[in-house]
Structure 1
Amino acid sequence: MGKGKTLRFQSKRTSHIPPYMFAELDVKKARLKETGMDLIDLGIGEPGFSPPPHIIERLGEEIRKSENSMYPSYIGCREFREAVSRYYKERYDVELDPDTEVIALIGSKEGVANLILSQLDPGDLALVPDPCYPVYRMATLLADGECYSLPLKPENAFLPDYPEIEESVRERARLLVVNYPNNPTTATADRGFYERTVAFAKRHKTIVVHDFAYNEISFNGYEPVSILQVEGAKDVAVELGSLSKTFCIPGWRIGYAVGNRDAIHALKTVKSNTDSGQYSAVQRTAAYALNGPRAFLEENLKIYRKRQQVVVSGLREIGMEVAEPRATFFVWAPLPEEHSNSARFAEKVLEDTGVVVAPGAAFGSCGEGYIRLSLSAPTERLQEAIARMRTSLKR
């Protein structure tokens, strides 16, 4: 029995997926912690603040309600979907039907992965930015799709150049991923970019997935644009949002997808067969948060801005030509002239100084030559990190 058959514990599909970059980083950090090294972690994209007290209090109230311990709705409780709809109307003047154009997510990471799975058949082509949040590429591969990299170049403000895409690729493309404010490059996009994106998608019958996770983390009067503000965007686009960054609750795992009703229905089909929805107490607290007070966010943004100035000025003193970001809580920094390999540079910085940074190449080949630093650490720790890096690089 079983002649010619080999016992294996993963599919061919998963065997082609490299380890998640941040999981590998965690292993290195744990090894150095065991030696007693004082690590300053600027590698992972986590908010640098505690959740606002009024949200924590509300979650406590919701946890005590017995009805919230029942199975949740697959598409999200009505309070949450209506709150997202109200938020979009008030924030972006976009009308959303909470029954057909909004779905709750267990964080936007899950939403990106399942949305891509719901749209791609084996062999379908996805246009994926490079560099990018690694989940876009990995989700495409897990769906047995094919990735085509769209280089994000500094000379083009880290925006994809649609005319540069070969016509044969444009005609094959089933799905296009965009993400602004951008992780990892911190780039931003104006309404004109989204108008071009929607026009491209309509012309080539391509679905647009817009990752809008950093929509509330912006500075100096800049206000990120929703793709759904463009006329006709709902014909081709789905936008994904997260409460993790805005409300400092990444561990609560709550987000949403909004936009094209057929794509939302397809996502519902995948989710209803693979998960049972987010805990209702978290959803109802998130509904309260979305339409509640925002004074805490203004204060957080002021602190992020101060941290940003500390890091940008410090890196410039080291010899790294860094631009001031208009959004996100990252800094995307080109390597000093004498360095060309981001992984080796990040490893040197980690082992010499205990400062964790993310190598740009971990986000794609076009990220080579850069590192990404998070502003999640307190200001004094950021100052310490820059001082350690300066000492190390002078050796």
Structure 2
Amino acid sequence: MANDLSDKTGSSKETYDDRPFHSEDLPPEVRAPLAPYKGEEPAAPAWFKWAIAQEPERSFVTSHGTKIEALTWGERGKPGLLLVHGNSAHADWWSFIAPYLAKDFRVASMSLAGMGQSDWRETYRFADFADDAEAVSRATGLYDGGRKPIYIGHSFGGGQVFFTAAQRPELMEAAILVDTGFGGPPPEVMKEREKRRELLANIPSPDKPSRVYPSLEKALERFRLMPPQPAENHYILDFIARRSLKRAPLPAGETAADGSGEGFAWKFDPNMWEKLDRSGMSMSSGGKLPAVTVPLVHLYGEKSRIIERRRVGEETALAEVAQEIEIPDSHHHVMIDQPLALVAALRTLLATWPH
């Protein structure tokens, strides 16, 4: 998702509502891409099976009293890479990418607070993320090689990485953003706002907790990407979706498919978007992003909504502060659309840059 770096109460054109939204006005392959599989796993290629067989070390790191989930690959003492996922996602979004980087690096993937297996918070702040990222990096050995780690963040995670690069550059050697945008809501969000009643009926709120599905099959049927896009690699969607779910008690009067009394719910905090504190996150002035002193690269999808909006004339300041590299035939979720191209781009970049 794109990122809101403006004040919580601001009304500038850069304000972005980054809550998930839901619409049934989408083609079936976008609205419910896993429904045809009826709970079964799609066939996967050999490269993917090898990657997910490289099971990471799973641990938790405490930061600000919160347990933060961390996955690690590769040997301590090698240069460090910290991988940060996007909105409503989790550390396993990188589990089929990280093993291909672990030959030359000590790699850690973290679940942001309120997502994955990480604890939820009463308030979520970008500044706390910078502290969380440092805590994970130090605990997992990303500094052990004598060089500061490189941070890599996708989408909303890229916004977190950018904030840290601007405000805490001493923590990192360099930063790579993967399809990260700064700007107003994309057209589909604006369309949803026009149908406010439907929007409010579908977004979780303090009075509406996450929905609990009676079976894994029913939960997988509801999985979709945000922002909505087509995706051909259903085996990746299935892998991500299964690791996005947790067991949860069903509401009174409902029965689980297995008779256990428990169903499946999404792991992320459903009230995160109401609890996200944007004060102190404004980093721009006059539409310009702040100077970043660490080397910065932006990898983006050729078919990404971010790029589509640029092509119709929307201004962007990111190109002024970062070197940009296009990943062909990819939408916003680059690691899903073109995972091996992303691996190749990262490996080539890391072998020659920022030295």
What's the TM-score once normalised by structure 1's chain length? 0.25
Q: Name whichever structure is richer in helix by fraction.
A: 1
Q: Which one has the largest radius of gyration?
A: 1
